[in-house]
Amino acid sequence: MALAEWRKDETVAILTMTGGENRHNLNYANEMLAIFDEILEDRAIHALVITSSDEKNFCQGVDIQWLMERMAAKDTQSIKDFMYRMNDVFRTLLLYPIPVIAAINGHAFGNGAILSCACDFRYMRSDRGFFCFPEVDLGIPFLPGMIAWVRKAVPQHAFHEWKYTGRRVTAPELEENHVIRKACANQEELMNESIAFARTFVKKRGIFGEMKKRMHKHIIEIMEREDPEFVEKLFLFIQD
């Protein structure tokens, strides 16, 4: 079963995650990267909207069950591969040569919230779902790269509170803090607003990609320079 699919709506690609809670594992990372490449093959596409088919969830983050199974099997290589491949997903979004808009239709927790932060713009429905960094309660520290690109989307004062408290945040609060462009009343408004905004972009990929490359240069450097130290040590969970 496919974990994601995409369709074309005039000049906009709409990528829909179809895996229920859309939890991140190695298969998820590989499939998303393949779709990103496929979308760019169509030169008529000028923007990408990412959303979910699930009624309650945008993305619930890391597939903890898969991760624990790999740890129990002492399959450390698969875990490292997953962490590097997810960084490839985030890096691709940060450098994608067309605008990427997250249409957050439900819960965006942990890596799911982080995924939306790697996008260029965000919308979220206000009648369903929360945005949350629960890692503090799960004992999972952020990689340095994650901290860097979340900061591009979330003001420091808000990130400071949400990261250390693990508090669930609503769409209106995200709008108030300029994390999302708009808190939409329902699913229909969410998709209409996200797609309408995406259609306003008819930018040349060369200049758009170069602007993102220069804008996020420091983030990419942190990912490449600092993240491997923690990945190689499998510094995933802190019990005490």
Q: Where are the domains of the chain?
A: 4-199
Q: In terms of pTM, does the model score above 0.85?
A: yes
**pLDDT grade, residue 238 (50/70/90)?**
low
Distance in angstroms (rounded) separating the CA atoms of residues 170 and 192: 20
The proportion of the chain whose per-residue pLDDT surpasses 90, expressed as a percent, equals 91
Q: Count Cα atoms within 13 angstroms, Cβ side, for 56.
A: 3
pLDDT of 1 strictly over 70 = no
Task: Please state the rounded mean pLDDT for residues 149-170.
Answer: 97
With beta carbons less than 8 A apart as the criterion, state whether 194 and 119 touch. Answer: no
Task: Please state the rounded mean pLDDT for residues 212-227.
Answer: 97
Task: Please state the rounded mean pLDDT for residues 24-39.
Answer: 96
pLDDT of 147 strictly over 70 = yes
Distance in angstroms (rounded) separating the CA atoms of residues 61 and 38: 24
Please give the structure tokens belonging to residue 17. 């995650």
Class (C level, CATH) for 4-199 = alpha beta
Instruction: Give me the pLDDT at residue 2, please.
Output: 86
Instruction: Give me the pLDDT at residue 234, please.
Output: 79
Instruction: Give me the pLDDT at residue 233, please.
Output: 85
